[in-house]
Amino acid sequence: MDYNIKFIKEFIQLTINGYEQNWHERNGGNLSYRLKDEEVEAIQKYCDFSGEFKPIGTSVPKLAGEYFLVTGSGKFFRNVSLDPENNICIIQLDEKGENYRILWGLKNGGRPTSELPTHLMNHEIKKVTTNNKHRVIYHCHPANIIALTFTMPLDNKIITRELWEMATECPVVFPSGVGIVEWMVPGGRDIAVATSKLMDKYDVVIWAHHGIFCSGEDFDTTFGLAHTVEKSAEILVKVISMGENKLQTITPQNFRDLAVDFKVTLPEEFLFEK
């Protein structure tokens, strides 16, 4: 493989950055990227098309035939940059969008991420709602956002508003807010369905007591989104830990003024009076 190909280089760089943030203990977290046509062209010569198709565990017809670069199941983010071809793989979906085959990578065996159903169902909904723009789905385990899911109501409106109040850039970076999935068994179709339903509206979905999923156009914006949400959660944890109610904060009218100057639409549902 040519590791200077841009999407491969940036994919590996994200795994380094995520590990350095302490969001990827052991085999925690996973990453996937939906290849563009010219990228599929560029990697053809490294692909082996003789592998057998295996079930994805869900159906994603709108992604039929597409190629993805994904992390491997049980693989550690810490090891991706040290040994890419044993820890990540390129897969292709069949013409129904129900099966995948490995074309490159996972040299000593293995399977794509255990969260493949959620990654692919998120890609499918984002392909439609962003007019083919979003290509990166990223799952990580940041401690502060996870901690908040034990003490805050698992309500999209309440958590969005609290995160927005913690840093002025937040409503600009995630103007559509964050969605929450209550605790569910990870790794299967049910949690994939619940997550992708919320991805219709949000670019960030929090899995209670587990982690977050982010969607974006490229590696920088997707990682930056997770980074911004977790930074905001860290400030919120500090504010709550200081044990006092806020004496001042960013008000609903402040958010409306910000929206005008920064040319973002902030849905009124998050600007309720408290």
Check binding of 115 to ligand 2HA (CB under 6 A).
yes
Give the number of other CB atoms < 10 A from CB of residue 199. Answer: 25
- Annotated catalytic sites, by residue? 115
């960013």: which residue's tokens?
Answer: 250
Check binding of 252 to ligand 2HA (CB under 6 A).
no
Residue window 185-224: x/- pattern of binding to ligand 2HA, with contact defined by CB under 6 A: -x--------------------------------------
Task: State the minimum distance, in angstroms, from the CB of residue 137 to ligand 2HA.
Answer: 12
Which does residue 79 touch among Zn ion, ligand 2HA, none (CB within 5 to 8 A, set by kind)?
none
Which does residue 135 touch among ligand 2HA, Zn ion, none (CB within 5 to 8 A, set by kind)?
none
Q: Of the ranges 15-23, 98-106, 203-211, 265-273, which one interacts with Zn ion (CB under 5 A)?
A: 203-211
Candidate residues 10, 28, 86, 110; the one interacting with ligand 2HA per rule CB under 6 A: 28
How far is residue 253's CA from residue 43's CA, in Å, rounded to a whole number? 51
Task: Please report the DSSP string for 38-100 in residue order.
Answer: HHHHHHGGG--TTSPPEE-SS--GGGTT-EEEEEBTT--HHHHTT-HHHHEEEEEE-TTSSEE
Which does residue 114 touch among ligand 2HA, Zn ion, none (CB within 5 to 8 A, set by kind)?
ligand 2HA
Check binding of 114 to ligand 2HA (CB under 6 A).
yes
Closest to 258 (Cα-Cα) out of 170, 176, 163, 178? 170
Residues 206-225 that bind Zn ion (CB under 5 A): 211
Helix, strand, coil % over all residues of the chain, rounded to 5:
45, 15, 40
Helices (H) and strands (E) in the chain, counts: 11, 9
Candidate residues 8, 12, 18, 29; the one interacting with ligand 2HA per rule CB under 6 A: 29
Which does residue 161 touch among ligand 2HA, Zn ion, none (CB within 5 to 8 A, set by kind)?
none
CA-CA-CA-CA torsion sign (28, 11, 212, 61): negative
- Which pairing describes strands 178-181 and 204-207: parallel, antiparallel, or unpaired? parallel
Could you list the residues that contact ligand 2HA (CB under 6 A)?
27-30, 114-115, 139, 186
